[in-house]
Structure 1
Amino acid sequence: VFSFGGAAGFALGPISAVAIVGWLGLAGLWVAMIPGGLIGIALWFVAKGRTRVGTGTPPPPPLEVLRKLRGPLGLVFGISVVGSFAQKAVLTFIPIIAHRAGESETAGAVVLSIYLGAQGLGTLASGFLTDRFNRQHLLAAISVLAVPTHVLAFTLAPASPAAIAMAVCAGFLNMALLPPIVVVAQEILPSGTAVSSGIVMGLAWAVGTLAIPVVGGFADAFGPVAATAWSMPLLLLGALFAMQPSLRPYRRAR
């Protein structure tokens, strides 16, 4: 549910930014901060006095976290990294590809919003499946299916109905990786759910972003369509990681 809310907010971002710039210019983008500020203030008053005291369970020692990171936790971390890379590639290069094809900024923003909106649906559907099916098979299948959908989202005519349909499928599959990744990570480190979640989300997403400049270099040399399309098979690493024997103890819901 929290991921769905985040995806919904991300989906509103591109089209809202284009609308604000068209209305107030780049100098008016600060207006986009107002809703977040108001919600933050409201949350302060709503949550005030309602915080719960923790159970007092100490977090896992750093050496245990590192040991798990060399094993099963490192595998789900790797799956999250390649998924993050694919997402950041879409967010970075789809507008560039659309602009080079003569499409407007609005068209590129709409595709991004559709991709990000579909991610919200992917988290909900995958959350349902994660509680009921083999998580290894689920992660592997999503990783494999995400390759052709992302490739087609980059290579089909920008903002065409077919490209938009593939953007929906790609976004859905990309964020469908998140629920099983987070659940497995928390089961690997049951005494450090916050630490494990931070590793497979925040840290993994940051690491995945580091590869975008490399793709940018190839885009300068061979064009953004070729560079992004040829990099998407990296998602297959997610399937390889998912089927490793060390993840078998976590393949079923407990």
Structure 2
Amino acid sequence: MSLGHACVDVYQGAVAALVPYFVAERAYSYAAASGVVLAASLLSSLVQPLFGVLTDRRAMPWLLPLSALTAGAGVALSGVTGSYALTLAVVAVSGVGVAAYHPEAARVARAVARGRHTAMGWFSFGGNAGFALAPLLVFAVVATGGLRASPLLVVPALVGAVLCAAAVRSAGSGARSAAAPAAVGEDDWGSFLRLSGAVVCRSVVFVGLGTFVSLYVRERTGGGEAAGTAALFVLYAGGAAGTLAGGRLAERYGRMAVMRRSYALTVLAVAGLVLVPGPPVYLFVALTSAGLYVPFSLHITLGQDFLPRRAGTASGVTLGLTVSVGGLAAPALGALADATSLRSALLPLIALPALGRLLLCGLREPAPPGTAATAAEPPDPRDPAAR
């Protein structure tokens, strides 16, 4: 499951990694380039909760290999399309493939993990590893062959489809039963919506930086394509490690404490990234990555625990919709960058994790299965993150 997740999510990272090449080869403005990211996110945002609802009702393991192929095909065609409209269309198709994959995959991963934060962290690690590899993959293919070489980017999709098909065959009826566990506990929509709001704030920061950090670092350091690719790789690669660390830290300190502190770290890290000049920008990119990714798998497990009767819906929102919504802000950031400067466009990203941190204030750990939802343990008054 983790390897298949990597092969699918490489295409979420690939769209942002292609932005500098669209700017260089097709002379896209910042707003036009960010529109490509929006196209990949918009349709995905709309359909992902629908896939979550469907997987709450019935098992659809066949979605896993099909969605991998769809995600890969759209990105592979993006460099050879003859118009801006066609480019938007094919990346939108890729976004639908990504949307179809996550709810079913997250539900099965939850059943296999059996409540262990570390196990879900490994599932999330696969997706974040795919994100991290995307800039290197795009650089290896497009920096040498240009956008016309983009069909080679379909290779991870082929590998992912084979892995997913093998997982479906080996799981058999066990996967079908895992995809529809018995509902336990009551849904807490109020807490879930507050959590989702925090994830949206995190998502706008993540997508905004994913879209523009490569161009920004090249502008700030005077480096070329390699400098920008390195920054994007640090942003994504740090997430792979941060996701695993998040699961372990949560088992020791609790999910809510870890999440609150991660959002606070992100405020400081994004401020350093935008405001501190010179090579230290790479350090702040790494710190930003840690702040964004440590709570990543915790968002998923908390969302599923807040909505125990709708695990597919919770997965579709926390793993898909709220993440994709970040792409909706990309054109606004691009338009602001065109009107002012790239640095000015990134300044608002400092405030968003602070808003996310406020939304997390007062949220309590969901009650364990079999207990009343209202009996959740109150926050530890000794924990400054709970105040």
For residue 20 of structure 1, report the CA deviation from its aligned partner: 1.2
Matched, 1:2 2:123: yes
Matched, 1:126 2:246: yes
Q: Which amino acid aligns with 1:77?
A: S
- Verify: 1:224 aligned to 2:342, yes or no: yes
Alignment partner, residue 354 of structure 2:
236
Q: Is 1:114 aligned to 2:234, yes or no?
A: yes
Q: Quick one: structure 1 residues 99 and 247, their matched pair in 2 at CA, closer, same or farther if it must change by over 3 Å?
A: same
Does residue 78 of the first structure (1) align with residue 190 of the second (2)? no
RMSD: 2.4
Q: CA deviation at 1:250?
A: 6.8
Matches within 5 A, 1:149-228: 149-157=269-277, 160=279, 162-228=280-346
Q: When the two structures are superposed, what TM-score results if normalisation uses the length of structure 1?
A: 0.86
* Partner of residue 98, structure 1: 217
Asked if structure 2 preserves the Cα contact closer than 8 Å seen for 1:14 and 1:109, the reply is yes
Equivalences for 1:133-152 in 2 at 5 Å?
133-152=253-272
Measured in 2, the distance between the counterparts of 1:181 and 1:201 equals: 8
Identity of aligned residues (%): 24
Pick which of 78-87 and 206-215 moved more: 206-215
Task: State the shift of 1:234 in Å.
Answer: 1.2
Residue 241 of structure 1 and its aligned partner are, at CA, apart by: 1.0
Equivalent residue, structure 1, for 2:207: 88
Are 1:54 and 2:204 counterparts?
no
Name the counterpart of 2:143. Answer: 22
The CA deviation string for residues 210-248 of structure 1, in whole angstroms up to 9 with x for no partner, is 122222232223311122123321111111111135667
- Cα distance change on mapping 1:201 and 1:38 into 2, 3 Å: closer
In the TM superposition, what is the alpha-carbon distance from 1:58 to its structure 2 partner? 6.7
Determine the C-alpha separation between the residues in 2 that align with 1:123 and 1:6. 10
The question of whether the paired residues in 2 share the 8 Å contact of 1:135 and 1:251 is answered with no
Q: Secondary structure at the match of 2:229?
A: helix
Indicate yes or no: 2:151 matched with 1:33.
no
Q: Which has the higher contact order (CA 8 A, sep 6+)?
A: 1
Q: Distance in 2 between matches of 1:21 and 1:190?
A: 44
Number of matched residues? Answer: 244
Partners of 1:125 and 1:202 lie apart in 2 by 21
AA matched with 1:72: S
CA shift for structure 1 position 166: 1.2
Rate the CA distance shift 1:240–1:247 in 2: closer, same or farther, 3 A. farther
Return the letter of the residue paired with 1:19. Answer: A
- Superposition deviation, residue 208 in structure 1: 2.2
So what's the TM-score if we normalise by structure 2?
0.58
C-alpha spacing 1:25/1:212, structure 2 compared with 1 (3 Å): closer
Tell me how far 1:111 sits from its aligned partner: 0.7
Distance 2:238 2:191 in 1: 29
Distance of 2:169 and 2:297 partners within structure 1: 29
Q: CA deviation at 1:190?
A: 1.4
Write the distance in 1 (CA, Å) between the matches of 2:302 and 2:320: 16
Q: Which runs of 5+ in 2 are unaligned?
A: 1-121, 367-375, 380-387
Whether the aligned pair in 1 keeps the contact of 2:199 and 2:318 (CA below 8 Å) is yes
Give unpaired runs (5+ residues) of structure 1: none
